[in-house]
Amino acid sequence: MLHVATVHWKEELWIAPQLKYLKANLPEHQIWASINGIDIEPWRSQFKFAEDMQGDHHVKLNALAEKILEVASDDDLLLFIDSDAFPIVPIDEKLLEGFPLVAIRRDENAAEPMPHPCFCLTTVGFWRELQGDWGIGKFHWTAPGGDRLTDGGANLLGQLLERGIEWKPLLRSNKLDLDPLWFGIYGEVVYHHGAGSRPAISYRQTIIQRDAIRKARDAAVIPASIPLLGKFERGVRYRRAEKKQAIIQGQILESAKILSEEVIASMLTDDEFFWRFTESPTE
């Protein structure tokens, strides 16, 4: 048996496609879900468990795992998956290839080193023995820009590193990128839409905008050693840059929304919409 843990948050759109691709590409399975801000009743029969659970994303995943471990056997498979992600080819225990855990690793997003909860396959026995934790804060990594970061999956990476356990990463394998972060194919196995239930602004983009504001401030002509004038000019440059980046952010969000709607439209009419991302633009 394969147990699926997923979180649907305020966006009903992803339930039907995810159910369809899970049914097509998984062996015998049960789906355990946190469904928030969505009418559960029309979908309840499709799930082993479906409730409006409280807490952040990682809290819900940990809670779902606890419920699964209460009834599952060690030999059962355990799949954590985001609402806007699904396998695009048949998968089973062979995907592990001898590793205890296989997961998406998003190198393209601030060099994230950890297993990502958008798709992570393991065994119930391994998760139980590890006491796996999707939480944040206990482990951090340094992004290319120097920021110390933590996110869902960071604590899990810490647990794996502490025990010297190797895991199998699924890396972005797109040959066509509509965006460097969204609409991703990973390991030619999983599709992850990205930001399916929230505005499509990433850490990567916020860093670009933050740096642009800092550069505008630091381009001041009046030396900082001249207290009043120097501070005034830097403040003016900073505020102007903030307004400019706010406009740019709005443009980015609108562009991402248009792209997302176009991809979703193709997803709803073509069961193999994802192949566009696996083929080179010249093919």
pLDDT in tens, 121-148: 999 999 999 999 999 988 888 877 777 8
- Model pTM score: 0.84
pLDDT tens per residue, range 221-243: 777 777 776 777 677 777 887 78
Which residues are 185's β-sheet partners? Answer: 191
Q: Domain residue spans in the chain?
A: 2-196
pLDDT tens digits, one per residue of 20-58: 999 999 999 999 999 999 999 999 999 999 999 999 999
Six-digit token string for 3: 């147990």
Q: Kindly tell me if the per-residue pLDDT of 203 is higher than 60.
A: no
Phi/psi of residue 239, nearest 5 degrees: -65, -40
Percent of the chain with pLDDT over 70: 89
DSSP assignment string, 71-122: H--TTSEEEEEETTEEESS---GGGGTT-SEEEE--TTTTT--SPEEEEEEE
The CA distances from residue 283 to 78, 164, 271, 274, in Å, are: 37, 42, 21, 15
Q: CATH number for the 2-196 domain, one of 3.10.20, 1.20.58, 1.10.10, 3.90.550?
A: 3.90.550
Question: Among residues 5, 142, 20, 162, which one has the least CA distance to residue 70?
Answer: 5
* 79 vs 86: CA distance, rounded Å: 11
User: Which of 121, 125, 69, 72 has its CA nearest to residue 92?
Assistant: 121
- Confidence class for position 204, pLDDT limits 50, 70, 90: low
In the block, tokens 């399975």 appear at 29
Residue 155 and residue 159: Cα distance in Å, rounded? 6
d(CA 198, CA 59): 18
- The token pair at 157 is 């990476």
